[in-house]
Structure 1
Amino acid sequence: MEKRTYLLVHGGSHGGWCWRDVAAHLRAAGHFVLTPTQTGLGERRHLMSRDITLETFVDDIVNVIEAEELEDVYLVGHSFGGCAVVGVAERMPQRLRHLVFLDSLIPMSGQSIMSGLPPDVQEARLAAADKFSGGLCTPVPPATNFGLSREREGDALMDWVERRLTPQPLKTYLTSLTLANPVGNGVPATYVRCTDPLYPIVTPSAELARLQPGWDYREIATCHDAMISAPRELADMLLAVNAI
Protein backbone atom coordinates (compact mmCIF):
# COMPACT_ATOMS: atom_id res chain seq x y z
CA MET A 1 0.00 0.00 0.00
CA GLU A 2 1.15 3.54 -0.75
CA LYS A 3 2.24 5.60 2.22
CA ARG A 4 -0.73 7.70 3.26
CA THR A 5 -1.21 10.83 5.35
CA TYR A 6 -3.95 10.52 7.95
CA LEU A 7 -5.15 13.59 9.84
CA LEU A 8 -7.42 12.50 12.69
CA VAL A 9 -9.79 15.08 14.21
CA HIS A 10 -11.29 14.36 17.61
CA GLY A 11 -14.83 15.05 18.81
CA GLY A 12 -16.35 17.13 21.56
CA SER A 13 -14.63 17.24 24.97
CA HIS A 14 -11.85 15.00 23.61
CA GLY A 15 -8.39 15.86 22.32
CA GLY A 16 -5.75 14.39 20.06
CA TRP A 17 -4.98 11.96 22.88
CA CYS A 18 -8.06 9.84 22.06
CA TRP A 19 -6.46 8.61 18.80
CA ARG A 20 -3.44 7.12 20.61
CA ASP A 21 -4.08 3.47 19.76
CA VAL A 22 -5.52 4.03 16.28
CA ALA A 23 -2.54 6.21 15.38
CA ALA A 24 -0.15 3.54 16.65
CA HIS A 25 -1.72 0.92 14.36
CA LEU A 26 -1.65 3.23 11.34
CA ARG A 27 1.98 4.20 11.96
CA ALA A 28 2.94 0.56 12.38
CA ALA A 29 1.48 0.00 8.91
CA GLY A 30 3.88 2.64 7.57
CA HIS A 31 1.67 5.71 7.35
CA PHE A 32 2.11 9.32 8.48
CA VAL A 33 -0.42 10.28 11.15
CA LEU A 34 -1.24 13.58 12.86
CA THR A 35 -3.71 13.97 15.74
CA PRO A 36 -4.09 17.69 16.48
CA THR A 37 -6.11 19.03 19.40
CA GLN A 38 -8.62 21.78 18.76
CA THR A 39 -8.44 25.11 20.58
CA GLY A 40 -9.67 25.05 24.16
CA LEU A 41 -9.66 21.27 24.60
CA GLY A 42 -7.24 18.60 25.78
CA GLU A 43 -3.74 19.92 26.39
CA ARG A 44 -4.95 23.24 24.93
CA ARG A 45 -7.65 23.68 27.56
CA HIS A 46 -5.86 26.76 28.88
CA LEU A 47 -6.96 28.54 25.69
CA MET A 48 -10.66 28.24 26.54
CA SER A 49 -12.42 31.41 25.43
CA ARG A 50 -15.81 32.82 24.46
CA ASP A 51 -14.25 33.58 21.07
CA ILE A 52 -13.92 29.91 20.06
CA THR A 53 -16.40 29.09 17.28
CA LEU A 54 -16.83 26.40 14.64
CA GLU A 55 -14.64 28.51 12.36
CA THR A 56 -11.88 28.34 15.00
CA PHE A 57 -11.99 24.55 14.81
CA VAL A 58 -11.76 24.71 11.02
CA ASP A 59 -8.83 27.14 11.29
CA ASP A 60 -7.06 24.68 13.61
CA ILE A 61 -7.07 21.93 10.99
CA VAL A 62 -6.46 24.18 7.99
CA ASN A 63 -3.40 25.57 9.76
CA VAL A 64 -2.04 22.08 10.46
CA ILE A 65 -2.38 21.17 6.78
CA GLU A 66 -0.68 24.37 5.72
CA ALA A 67 2.09 24.31 8.36
CA GLU A 68 2.94 20.66 7.66
CA GLU A 69 2.55 21.22 3.88
CA LEU A 70 0.29 18.19 3.60
CA GLU A 71 -1.16 16.87 0.36
CA ASP A 72 -3.50 13.97 -0.44
CA VAL A 73 -4.80 13.94 3.13
CA TYR A 74 -7.12 11.27 4.48
CA LEU A 75 -9.08 13.57 6.78
CA VAL A 76 -11.00 11.75 9.52
CA GLY A 77 -13.48 13.47 11.83
CA HIS A 78 -15.11 11.83 14.83
CA SER A 79 -18.42 13.11 16.20
CA PHE A 80 -18.10 16.91 16.57
CA GLY A 81 -14.90 16.66 14.53
CA GLY A 82 -17.05 16.16 11.43
CA CYS A 83 -17.81 19.89 11.56
CA ALA A 84 -14.14 20.75 11.04
CA VAL A 85 -13.89 18.18 8.25
CA VAL A 86 -16.76 19.82 6.38
CA GLY A 87 -15.21 23.26 6.86
CA VAL A 88 -11.78 22.17 5.69
CA ALA A 89 -13.24 20.49 2.59
CA GLU A 90 -15.04 23.75 1.81
CA ARG A 91 -11.79 25.75 2.00
CA MET A 92 -9.13 23.47 0.55
CA PRO A 93 -10.53 20.41 -1.27
CA GLN A 94 -7.44 20.24 -3.47
CA ARG A 95 -5.34 19.16 -0.46
CA LEU A 96 -7.65 16.28 0.49
CA ARG A 97 -7.71 12.73 -0.83
CA HIS A 98 -10.62 11.28 1.14
CA LEU A 99 -12.98 12.33 3.94
CA VAL A 100 -14.03 9.92 6.68
CA PHE A 101 -16.90 10.86 8.99
CA LEU A 102 -16.73 8.59 12.04
CA ASP A 103 -20.17 8.57 13.69
CA SER A 104 -20.00 12.30 13.19
CA LEU A 105 -22.19 15.32 12.94
CA ILE A 106 -22.48 16.87 9.48
CA PRO A 107 -23.29 20.57 9.75
CA MET A 108 -25.59 22.29 7.30
CA SER A 109 -24.70 25.71 5.91
CA GLY A 110 -25.98 28.49 8.14
CA GLN A 111 -27.29 26.14 10.85
CA SER A 112 -25.69 25.73 14.26
CA ILE A 113 -25.15 22.29 15.76
CA MET A 114 -27.39 23.29 18.67
CA SER A 115 -30.29 24.04 16.34
CA GLY A 116 -30.16 20.49 15.03
CA LEU A 117 -30.50 18.88 18.47
CA PRO A 118 -33.85 17.93 20.01
CA PRO A 119 -35.37 20.82 22.01
CA ASP A 120 -34.98 19.03 25.34
CA VAL A 121 -31.29 18.38 24.63
CA GLN A 122 -30.78 22.02 23.64
CA GLU A 123 -32.37 23.23 26.83
CA ALA A 124 -30.38 20.83 28.99
CA ARG A 125 -27.03 21.76 27.42
CA LEU A 126 -27.63 25.49 27.67
CA ALA A 127 -28.72 25.18 31.29
CA ALA A 128 -25.74 22.99 32.15
CA ALA A 129 -23.30 25.45 30.53
CA ASP A 130 -24.84 28.38 32.34
CA LYS A 131 -24.65 26.63 35.72
CA PHE A 132 -21.15 25.26 35.11
CA SER A 133 -19.40 28.27 33.62
CA GLY A 134 -21.78 31.14 33.10
CA GLY A 135 -22.23 30.06 29.49
CA LEU A 136 -18.54 29.77 28.60
CA CYS A 137 -18.45 25.99 28.11
CA THR A 138 -20.36 22.81 28.72
CA PRO A 139 -19.31 20.63 31.67
CA VAL A 140 -17.21 17.51 31.21
CA PRO A 141 -19.49 14.61 30.29
CA PRO A 142 -19.00 11.15 31.79
CA ALA A 143 -17.24 8.66 29.55
CA THR A 144 -20.38 6.54 29.59
CA ASN A 145 -22.09 9.24 27.50
CA PHE A 146 -20.00 8.00 24.57
CA GLY A 147 -21.04 4.37 25.02
CA LEU A 148 -17.92 3.31 26.94
CA SER A 149 -18.33 1.09 29.97
CA ARG A 150 -16.16 -0.26 32.76
CA GLU A 151 -17.52 -3.73 32.11
CA ARG A 152 -16.32 -3.75 28.52
CA GLU A 153 -13.34 -1.34 28.49
CA GLY A 154 -12.01 -2.01 32.00
CA ASP A 155 -11.18 0.37 34.82
CA ALA A 156 -7.73 1.43 33.59
CA LEU A 157 -8.98 2.57 30.16
CA MET A 158 -12.06 4.26 31.59
CA ASP A 159 -9.98 6.10 34.20
CA TRP A 160 -7.64 7.29 31.42
CA VAL A 161 -10.53 8.64 29.35
CA GLU A 162 -12.15 10.38 32.31
CA ARG A 163 -8.87 12.05 33.25
CA ARG A 164 -8.49 13.41 29.76
CA LEU A 165 -11.99 14.69 28.94
CA THR A 166 -12.36 18.48 29.11
CA PRO A 167 -15.17 21.07 28.84
CA GLN A 168 -16.39 22.03 25.36
CA PRO A 169 -16.57 25.71 24.28
CA LEU A 170 -20.30 26.50 24.18
CA LYS A 171 -20.02 28.83 21.20
CA THR A 172 -18.98 25.92 18.99
CA TYR A 173 -22.55 24.65 19.40
CA LEU A 174 -24.12 28.04 18.74
CA THR A 175 -22.24 29.22 15.65
CA SER A 176 -22.48 27.94 12.08
CA LEU A 177 -20.43 27.44 8.93
CA THR A 178 -21.27 29.10 5.64
CA LEU A 179 -20.87 26.68 2.74
CA ALA A 180 -20.90 27.76 -0.88
CA ASN A 181 -20.63 24.14 -2.06
CA PRO A 182 -22.34 20.84 -1.26
CA VAL A 183 -21.15 19.07 1.89
CA GLY A 184 -17.75 17.53 1.16
CA ASN A 185 -17.14 19.84 -1.79
CA GLY A 186 -16.65 16.96 -4.20
CA VAL A 187 -13.99 15.15 -2.16
CA PRO A 188 -14.58 11.36 -2.00
CA ALA A 189 -16.13 10.49 1.36
CA THR A 190 -17.01 7.60 3.65
CA TYR A 191 -19.38 7.66 6.61
CA VAL A 192 -18.75 5.09 9.35
CA ARG A 193 -21.69 4.47 11.71
CA CYS A 194 -21.04 2.99 15.15
CA THR A 195 -23.84 0.56 15.95
CA ASP A 196 -23.25 -0.99 19.39
CA PRO A 197 -24.90 0.94 20.87
CA LEU A 198 -26.21 3.57 18.45
CA TYR A 199 -25.48 7.21 19.33
CA PRO A 200 -28.85 8.91 18.62
CA ILE A 201 -27.58 12.49 18.25
CA VAL A 202 -25.73 11.68 15.02
CA THR A 203 -28.57 9.68 13.45
CA PRO A 204 -29.78 12.56 11.20
CA SER A 205 -26.22 13.05 9.93
CA ALA A 206 -25.78 9.33 9.29
CA GLU A 207 -29.03 9.27 7.30
CA LEU A 208 -27.92 12.34 5.36
CA ALA A 209 -24.65 10.59 4.52
CA ARG A 210 -26.54 7.58 3.14
CA LEU A 211 -28.20 9.88 0.61
CA GLN A 212 -25.05 11.66 -0.58
CA PRO A 213 -24.28 10.68 -4.20
CA GLY A 214 -21.05 8.72 -4.44
CA TRP A 215 -20.44 8.46 -0.69
CA ASP A 216 -19.56 5.13 0.87
CA TYR A 217 -21.43 4.06 4.01
CA ARG A 218 -20.07 1.49 6.45
CA GLU A 219 -20.79 0.27 9.95
CA ILE A 220 -18.64 -0.86 12.85
CA ALA A 221 -20.11 -2.85 15.73
CA THR A 222 -18.80 -0.82 18.63
CA CYS A 223 -19.73 2.26 20.63
CA HIS A 224 -19.55 5.93 19.61
CA ASP A 225 -15.94 6.25 20.84
CA ALA A 226 -14.72 3.59 18.40
CA MET A 227 -11.14 4.88 18.47
CA ILE A 228 -11.04 3.90 22.15
CA SER A 229 -13.25 0.82 22.25
CA ALA A 230 -12.09 -0.80 18.99
CA PRO A 231 -8.87 0.87 17.82
CA ARG A 232 -7.49 -2.03 15.78
CA GLU A 233 -10.79 -2.64 13.99
CA LEU A 234 -11.15 1.06 13.25
CA ALA A 235 -7.56 1.34 12.02
CA ASP A 236 -8.16 -1.61 9.69
CA MET A 237 -11.27 0.13 8.37
CA LEU A 238 -9.33 3.34 7.73
CA LEU A 239 -6.63 1.38 5.94
CA ALA A 240 -9.31 -0.16 3.74
CA VAL A 241 -10.72 3.21 2.66
CA ASN A 242 -9.72 3.93 -0.92
CA ALA A 243 -9.94 7.18 -2.80
CA ILE A 244 -12.45 6.99 -5.59
Structure 2
Amino acid sequence: MMHTPRTYVLIHGAWHGGWCWSRIAERLRSHGHRVCSPTLPGLGERRQEPADGIGLETFIRDVCDTLTREQLRDVILVGHSFGGLAVAGAADRLPERIRRLVFLDAFLLPPGVSAFDTLPADVVAKLEDRAADSSSLAPPRPDSLGLTDPADIAYVQARLTPHPIGTYREPLRLAHPLGNGLPVTYLRCVQPLFPGVSEAYRWARETYGDLWSWAQLACGHEGMIDAPERVAGALLAVD
Protein backbone atom coordinates (compact mmCIF):
# COMPACT_ATOMS: atom_id res chain seq x y z
CA MET A 1 0.00 0.00 0.00
CA MET A 2 1.37 3.40 -0.97
CA HIS A 3 1.36 6.20 1.59
CA THR A 4 1.01 9.93 0.93
CA PRO A 5 4.57 11.04 0.14
CA ARG A 6 6.47 12.34 3.16
CA THR A 7 9.93 13.64 3.86
CA TYR A 8 12.04 11.83 6.47
CA VAL A 9 15.33 13.20 7.77
CA LEU A 10 17.22 10.52 9.71
CA ILE A 11 19.93 11.58 12.17
CA HIS A 12 22.36 8.97 13.46
CA GLY A 13 23.93 8.57 16.88
CA ALA A 14 27.47 8.60 18.25
CA TRP A 15 30.22 6.86 16.24
CA HIS A 16 27.82 6.23 13.34
CA GLY A 17 27.15 8.01 10.06
CA GLY A 18 24.40 8.33 7.49
CA TRP A 19 25.35 4.83 6.32
CA CYS A 20 23.52 3.23 9.26
CA TRP A 21 20.13 4.23 7.80
CA SER A 22 20.57 2.58 4.39
CA ARG A 23 18.28 -0.38 5.14
CA ILE A 24 15.60 1.92 6.54
CA ALA A 25 15.91 4.44 3.72
CA GLU A 26 15.45 1.72 1.11
CA ARG A 27 12.17 0.66 2.69
CA LEU A 28 10.84 4.19 3.13
CA ARG A 29 11.69 5.10 -0.46
CA SER A 30 9.93 1.98 -1.70
CA HIS A 31 6.74 3.58 -0.33
CA GLY A 32 7.38 6.75 -2.31
CA HIS A 33 8.89 8.88 0.46
CA ARG A 34 11.83 11.25 0.32
CA VAL A 35 14.67 10.35 2.69
CA CYS A 36 17.75 12.32 3.76
CA SER A 37 20.29 10.71 6.08
CA PRO A 38 23.16 13.18 6.50
CA THR A 39 26.38 12.35 8.33
CA LEU A 40 27.16 14.67 11.24
CA PRO A 41 30.48 16.57 11.38
CA GLY A 42 33.60 14.59 12.24
CA LEU A 43 32.00 11.18 11.68
CA GLY A 44 31.71 8.61 8.91
CA GLU A 45 32.88 10.02 5.60
CA ARG A 46 33.43 13.37 7.39
CA ARG A 47 35.90 11.92 9.90
CA GLN A 48 38.74 14.08 8.53
CA GLU A 49 37.08 17.22 9.91
CA PRO A 50 39.02 18.37 13.02
CA ALA A 51 37.30 16.93 16.08
CA ASP A 52 38.62 19.64 18.39
CA GLY A 53 36.34 22.19 16.72
CA ILE A 54 33.16 20.13 16.97
CA GLY A 55 30.61 20.46 19.78
CA LEU A 56 26.93 19.77 20.23
CA GLU A 57 26.06 23.14 18.67
CA THR A 58 28.01 22.05 15.58
CA PHE A 59 25.75 19.01 15.27
CA ILE A 60 22.62 21.09 15.73
CA ARG A 61 23.68 23.67 13.15
CA ASP A 62 24.47 20.89 10.70
CA VAL A 63 20.97 19.43 10.99
CA CYS A 64 19.49 22.91 10.57
CA ASP A 65 21.69 23.48 7.52
CA THR A 66 20.39 20.25 5.98
CA LEU A 67 16.79 21.37 6.44
CA THR A 68 17.39 24.80 4.94
CA ARG A 69 19.89 23.85 2.21
CA GLU A 70 17.61 21.11 0.88
CA GLN A 71 14.56 23.38 1.30
CA LEU A 72 12.82 20.72 3.37
CA ARG A 73 9.45 21.32 5.02
CA ASP A 74 6.83 19.20 6.75
CA VAL A 75 9.68 16.94 7.83
CA ILE A 76 9.50 13.88 10.03
CA LEU A 77 12.78 14.39 11.86
CA VAL A 78 14.19 11.22 13.42
CA GLY A 79 17.04 11.08 15.94
CA HIS A 80 18.63 7.82 17.03
CA SER A 81 20.56 7.54 20.31
CA PHE A 82 22.91 10.57 20.69
CA GLY A 83 21.31 12.01 17.54
CA GLY A 84 18.28 12.80 19.67
CA LEU A 85 20.13 15.85 21.02
CA ALA A 86 20.86 17.21 17.53
CA VAL A 87 17.22 16.69 16.58
CA ALA A 88 16.01 18.42 19.74
CA GLY A 89 18.24 21.40 19.00
CA ALA A 90 17.05 21.64 15.40
CA ALA A 91 13.42 21.59 16.55
CA ASP A 92 14.20 24.46 18.92
CA ARG A 93 15.48 26.58 16.04
CA LEU A 94 13.42 25.56 13.00
CA PRO A 95 10.05 24.24 14.19
CA GLU A 96 8.30 25.64 11.12
CA ARG A 97 10.07 23.06 8.94
CA ILE A 98 9.16 20.05 11.07
CA ARG A 99 5.98 17.98 11.06
CA ARG A 100 6.92 15.55 13.83
CA LEU A 101 9.91 14.56 15.92
CA VAL A 102 10.70 10.89 16.39
CA PHE A 103 13.19 9.88 19.05
CA LEU A 104 14.41 6.35 18.31
CA ASP A 105 15.87 4.92 21.52
CA ALA A 106 17.27 8.41 21.90
CA PHE A 107 19.56 9.97 24.47
CA LEU A 108 17.96 13.17 25.74
CA LEU A 109 18.98 15.81 28.27
CA PRO A 110 17.32 18.64 30.17
CA PRO A 111 18.33 22.05 28.79
CA GLY A 112 21.60 23.28 30.26
CA VAL A 113 22.91 19.77 30.93
CA SER A 114 25.73 18.01 29.06
CA ALA A 115 26.24 14.31 28.47
CA PHE A 116 29.24 14.40 30.79
CA ASP A 117 27.06 15.91 33.53
CA THR A 118 25.17 12.61 33.64
CA LEU A 119 28.28 10.50 34.25
CA PRO A 120 30.36 9.97 37.41
CA ALA A 121 33.39 12.26 37.68
CA ASP A 122 35.84 9.35 37.56
CA VAL A 123 34.31 8.03 34.33
CA VAL A 124 34.50 11.49 32.75
CA ALA A 125 38.14 11.78 33.79
CA LYS A 126 39.00 8.47 32.15
CA LEU A 127 37.23 9.42 28.93
CA GLU A 128 38.94 12.81 28.86
CA ASP A 129 42.31 11.14 29.37
CA ARG A 130 41.73 8.67 26.53
CA ALA A 131 40.67 11.47 24.20
CA ALA A 132 43.57 13.79 25.07
CA ASP A 133 45.48 13.17 21.85
CA SER A 134 42.59 13.02 19.39
CA SER A 135 39.70 15.01 20.93
CA SER A 136 37.58 11.94 20.15
CA LEU A 137 36.00 9.00 21.91
CA ALA A 138 36.95 5.60 20.49
CA PRO A 139 34.08 3.48 19.12
CA PRO A 140 32.57 0.76 21.28
CA ARG A 141 32.34 -2.90 20.29
CA PRO A 142 29.22 -3.44 18.14
CA ASP A 143 28.09 -6.29 20.38
CA SER A 144 27.93 -3.81 23.29
CA LEU A 145 25.25 -1.99 21.28
CA GLY A 146 23.10 -5.12 21.23
CA LEU A 147 24.08 -6.63 17.89
CA THR A 148 24.42 -10.41 17.81
CA ASP A 149 24.50 -11.47 14.15
CA PRO A 150 28.15 -11.85 12.99
CA ALA A 151 27.39 -10.26 9.63
CA ASP A 152 25.78 -7.21 11.26
CA ILE A 153 28.64 -6.92 13.74
CA ALA A 154 31.19 -6.99 10.91
CA TYR A 155 29.18 -4.45 8.90
CA VAL A 156 29.03 -1.99 11.79
CA GLN A 157 32.58 -2.63 13.03
CA ALA A 158 33.98 -1.63 9.64
CA ARG A 159 32.12 1.68 9.68
CA LEU A 160 32.16 3.08 13.22
CA THR A 161 34.46 6.09 13.64
CA PRO A 162 35.72 8.04 16.68
CA HIS A 163 33.23 10.54 18.07
CA PRO A 164 34.11 14.21 18.84
CA ILE A 165 34.34 14.52 22.63
CA GLY A 166 33.26 18.16 22.54
CA THR A 167 29.69 17.04 21.90
CA TYR A 168 29.73 15.33 25.31
CA ARG A 169 31.20 18.38 27.07
CA GLU A 170 28.80 20.97 25.68
CA PRO A 171 25.37 21.34 27.31
CA LEU A 172 22.15 21.23 25.34
CA ARG A 173 21.03 24.84 24.89
CA LEU A 174 17.36 25.39 24.11
CA ALA A 175 15.25 28.54 24.03
CA HIS A 176 12.03 26.52 24.37
CA PRO A 177 10.93 23.34 26.17
CA LEU A 178 12.30 20.14 24.64
CA GLY A 179 10.24 19.38 21.53
CA ASN A 180 9.23 23.04 21.13
CA GLY A 181 5.51 22.18 21.11
CA LEU A 182 5.80 19.88 18.08
CA PRO A 183 4.20 16.43 17.95
CA VAL A 184 6.73 13.98 19.42
CA THR A 185 6.94 10.19 19.31
CA TYR A 186 9.46 8.25 21.38
CA LEU A 187 10.18 4.71 20.13
CA ARG A 188 11.85 2.62 22.86
CA CYS A 189 13.78 -0.45 21.72
CA VAL A 190 13.18 -3.15 24.32
CA GLN A 191 14.65 -6.46 23.06
CA PRO A 192 17.08 -6.02 24.68
CA LEU A 193 16.94 -2.73 26.54
CA PHE A 194 19.99 -0.53 26.02
CA PRO A 195 21.26 0.80 29.38
CA GLY A 196 22.89 3.85 27.79
CA VAL A 197 19.53 5.55 27.20
CA SER A 198 17.51 4.12 30.10
CA GLU A 199 17.88 7.12 32.43
CA ALA A 200 17.18 9.56 29.58
CA TYR A 201 14.03 7.62 28.69
CA ARG A 202 12.88 7.58 32.32
CA TRP A 203 13.42 11.34 32.66
CA ALA A 204 11.63 12.12 29.39
CA ARG A 205 8.69 9.86 30.24
CA GLU A 206 8.28 11.45 33.66
CA THR A 207 8.67 14.98 32.29
CA TYR A 208 6.61 14.85 29.10
CA GLY A 209 4.17 12.02 29.82
CA ASP A 210 0.91 12.51 27.92
CA LEU A 211 2.35 15.38 25.87
CA TRP A 212 4.28 12.89 23.74
CA SER A 213 3.40 9.58 22.11
CA TRP A 214 5.22 6.48 23.33
CA ALA A 215 5.71 3.07 21.74
CA GLN A 216 7.93 0.03 22.16
CA LEU A 217 9.77 -1.85 19.44
CA ALA A 218 10.67 -5.52 19.75
CA CYS A 219 14.29 -4.95 18.71
CA GLY A 220 17.58 -3.79 20.15
CA HIS A 221 19.27 -0.39 20.15
CA GLU A 222 20.65 -0.88 16.63
CA GLY A 223 17.25 -1.73 15.17
CA MET A 224 17.99 0.19 11.99
CA ILE A 225 20.68 -2.45 11.35
CA ASP A 226 19.20 -5.71 12.60
CA ALA A 227 15.45 -4.99 12.44
CA PRO A 228 15.00 -2.51 9.58
CA GLU A 229 11.57 -3.81 8.57
CA ARG A 230 10.26 -3.30 12.10
CA VAL A 231 11.77 0.17 12.52
CA ALA A 232 10.68 1.31 9.05
CA GLY A 233 7.17 0.08 9.83
CA ALA A 234 7.12 2.17 13.00
CA LEU A 235 8.27 5.25 11.10
CA LEU A 236 5.64 4.71 8.44
CA ALA A 237 2.99 4.46 11.15
CA VAL A 238 3.61 7.86 12.74
CA ASP A 239 1.10 10.52 11.71
TM range (shorter): over 0.9
* Aligned equivalents of 1:118, 1:103: Cα separation in 2: 22
Counterparts of 1:108 and 1:135 in 2: how far apart (Å)? 28
In the alignment, which of 14, 17, 22 is matched to residue 15 of structure 1? 17
Match of 1:77 among 73, 79, 85: 79
| Equivalent residue for 1:196, pick from 186, 191, 194 | 191
Match of 2:163 in 1: 168
1:168: Cα distance to partner? Answer: 0.3
Q: How far apart, in 2, do the equivalents of 1:4 and 1:117 lie?
A: 38
Aligned residue number for residue 111 of structure 1: 113
2:124 is equivalent to residue 122 of structure 1: yes
- State the distance in 2 between where 1:11 and 1:72 align: 23
My pick for the range that moved more, 198-207 or 10-19, is 198-207
Partner of 1:41: 43
**How far apart are residue 144 of structure 1 and its match?**
1.2
What residue number does 1:138 align with?
137
How well do the aligned residues superpose, as a CA RMSD in angstroms? 1.3
Match of 2:52, SS state, is coil
Shift of 1:223: 1.2
Matching residue's letter, 1:196: Q
The letter for the 2-side match of 1:141 is P
Partner residue in 2 for 1:91: 93
CA contact (8 A) 1:126 1:135 kept: no
Among 225, 228, 231, the alignment partner of 2:228 is 231
Deviation at 1:123, TM superposition (A): 3.9
CA-CA distance at 1:209 after TM superposition: 2.8
Percent identity over the alignment is 45
Q: Tell me, in whole angstroms, the C-alpha distance in 2 between the residues paired with 1:117 and 1:239.
A: 35
Write the distance in 1 (CA, Å) between the matches of 2:105 and 2:127: 20
Letter in 1 for 2:87: V
Tell me how far apart the structure 2 counterparts of residues 123 and 232 of structure 1 sit (CA, whole Å): 40
Report the CA distance between 1:135 and its aligned residue. Answer: 5.3
Unpaired runs of 5+ residues, structure 2, are: none
Q: CA deviation at 1:118?
A: 4.2
1:22-46 CA distance string (max 9 Å, x none):
0000000110000000000000001
Q: Which residue of 2 aligns with 1:32?
A: 34
Q: Is the CA contact 1:3–1:30 (under 8 Å) kept in the aligned structure 2?
A: yes
In structure 1, what is the equivalent of residue 181 of structure 2? 186
The secondary structure found in structure 2 opposite 1:201 is helix
Task: Normalising by structure 2, report the TM-score.
Answer: 0.94
Contact 1:101/1:191 (<8 A) preserved: yes
**CA deviation digits over 1:77-116, x for unaligned, max 9?**
0000000011001001111000000111112211111111
- The equivalent of 2:63 in structure 1 is 61
Name the CA distance, whole Å, in 2 between partners of 1:148 and 1:22.
17
Q: Which residue does 2:212 correspond to in 1? A: 215
* Counterparts of 1:157 and 1:43, CA distance in 2: 19
Looking at structure 1, the residues matched to 166 and 105 of structure 2 have their Cα atoms a distance apart, in angstroms, of 22
- 1 CA distance for matches of 2:236 and 2:122? 39
Q: TM-score, normalised by structure 1?
A: 0.92
Describe the superposition over 1:213-232 as per-residue Cα deviations: whole angstroms up to 9, x where unpaired.
Answer: 42011111211111001001
Shift of 1:122: 2.8
Contact 1:209 1:215 in 2 (8 A): no
